[in-house]
C-alpha cells in the first residue's frame, strides 16, 4: 500500500508540472504560472528533472515520468527542481523558462 501511495503522489506532481508546461506553452508569449513543489513525497526526498523528453521524478528509488503534449523548447537542456521550492514557469517567445522564486 505504501509503495502505491508513493507512486500516486509522484504521479500527481509530474502530471501537475506537465499540465503547467503545456498550459504556459499553449497560452503564448508572457504567460506564466507559479507552483510550489511539495517538500517531500511520502516523507522521502526526491529529485525532479525536466528535459526535452519529459518530466521525471525519482522518489524512493522509483522513477515516475510524464511527457508534455508538445515538443517544447526550454532555456536549458536539463532542469533540476528541488522539493519545497517555488518556481515560475514563463513562456518567453515559445521557450519555457523555469525560475526559482525561493
- The two beta strands, 46-51 and 62-66, are unpaired
pLDDT score, position 92: 97
For residue 85, give its domain range. 2-100
Q: Are strands 78-82 and 73-74 parallel, antiparallel or unpaired?
A: unpaired
CA atoms within 13 A on the CB side of 49: 11
Q: What is the pLDDT tens value at each position of the chain, 102 positions in all?
A: 455 665 899 999 999 999 999 999 999 999 999 999 999 998 899 999 999 899 999 987 889 999 988 888 898 999 999 999 999 999 999 999 999 998
Domains in the chain, number: 1
51's grid cell: 528535459
Query: How many CB atoms neighbour CB 43 within 10 A?
Result: 8
pLDDT for the residue 1 = 44
* pLDDT the model gives residue 7: 83
* H helical segments located in the chain: 2-26
The tally of CA atoms less than 13 A away on the side-chain side of residue 42 is 17
Looking at residue 69, its pLDDT comes to: 81
- DSSP-derived pairing of the beta strands 54-59 and 46-51: antiparallel
The set of cell numbers assigned to 94 is 515559445
Amino acid at each position: 500500500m505504501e509503495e502505491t501511495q508513493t507512486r500516486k503522489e509522484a504521479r500527481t506532481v509530474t502530471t501537475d508540472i506537465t499540465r503547467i508546461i503545456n498550459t504556459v506553452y499553449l497560452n503564448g508569449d508572457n504567460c506564466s504560472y507559479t507552483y510550489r513543489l511539495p517538500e517531500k513525497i511520502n516523507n522521502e526526498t526526491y529529485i525532479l528533472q525536466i528535459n526535452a523528453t519529459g518530466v521525471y521524478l525519482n522518489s524512493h528509488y522509483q522513477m515516475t515520468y510524464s511527457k508534455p503534449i508538445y515538443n517544447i523548447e526550454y532555456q536549458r537542456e536539463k532542469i533540476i527542481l528541488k522539493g519545497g521550492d517555488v518556481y515560475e514557469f514563463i513562456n518567453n517567445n515559445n521557450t519555457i523558462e523555469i525560475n526559482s522564486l525561493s
